[in-house]
Amino acid sequence: MGLFDLTGRTALVTGSSMGIGLALARGLGQAGARVVLNARDPGRLQAAAGTLRAEGLVVDALPFDVTDPDAVRAAVDGYEAAHPIDILVNNAGMQHRTPLEDFPVEAFDRLMRTNVNSAFYVGQAVARHMIGRGQGRIVNIASVQAALARPGIAPYTASKGAIVNLTKGMATDWARYGLNCNAIAPGYFDTPLNAALVADPEFCVWLERRTPAGRWGRVEELVGACVFLASDAASFVNGHVLYVDGGITASL
């Protein structure tokens, strides 16, 4: 199983103080990688880092705002001076649920900065170092909302569609330099971002009927896909979107 071994590699995961990001960081660490947690809240970030260290993982904490391009470049360049980043997981994201006709402009701008701009800022900052080394793995976190829409989240759907196409663009521009750029598109997972939906019995019944697997996903079920795309096992996989959704995009 050496193809999946990440020993000796360093993985930066944005938005990794909780939820999907923390689960992916844990999984990459368990596969052998040194993991770099990122979030804006230093307290929450240090708590998450402490949890993973207590599990025996090698963890660094790198607080910076992924929506601030200057802060991104400073943090990435500073960290790269000591530890080359071999794997980047662009996971930072947010949700805002409002009917489209009432969606506040400032909320739209904030959502796009968090979900799309951040992947460009961090991806570019890390890729510039990866290109010089002739290798690297970038995994962007998209969503089934890149292919499907639901009422009240049109801007989120647009942002995840942008992530899918940004991933294809990254692969098209950077594969020639030895970078592999792919995306994972999670279905409906029980995470803090979906707390309002998880607490809604009517929605849960709808989701269980709509999803062939008949349930919410567990964040741990995303780890295998991430380790695969970050590893040598995916050496000729580029520009791909891997749906991990219990079959929801496969059925009507």
Count other Cβ atoms within 10 Å, centred on residue 128: 13
In a domain, 23, yes or no: yes
The pLDDT of 244-249, averaged and rounded, is 98
Angle value at C-alpha 165, between 162 and 171, nearest 5 degrees: 140
249, two tokens: 């995009």
In a domain, 124, yes or no: yes
pLDDT band for 200, please (50, 70, 90 cuts). Answer: very high
Q: What is the pLDDT of residue 193?
A: 82
Reported as a single tens digit per residue, the pLDDT across 54-73 is: 999 999 999 999 999 999 99
In a domain, 37, yes or no: yes
- How many domains in the chain? 1
The pLDDT of 185-197, averaged and rounded, is 91
In a domain, 103, yes or no: yes
Task: Tell me which residue range forms the domain holding 155.
Answer: 2-244
Asked whether the beta carbons of 38 and 65 are under 8 A apart, the reply is: no
154, two tokens: 């049109």
In a domain, 127, yes or no: yes
In a domain, 221, yes or no: yes
Q: Give me the phi and psi of 115, to 5 degrees please.
A: -90, -30
In a domain, 25, yes or no: yes
Question: Given the structure tokens 């951040």, which residue do they identify?
Answer: 118
Global pTM reads: 0.96
Q: How far apart are CA 187 and CA 99, in angstroms?
A: 21
Q: What is the pLDDT of residue 196?
A: 87
Using DSSP bridges, classify how beta strands 179-186 and 59-61 pair: parallel, antiparallel or unpaired: unpaired
Question: Which residue is catalytic, options 156, 177, 188, 243?
Answer: 156
**CATH, residue 21:** 3.40.50.720
> Does the active-site annotation cover 177?
no
Q: What is the pLDDT of residue 158?
A: 98
In a domain, 251, yes or no: no
Has residue 176 got a pLDDT over 90? yes
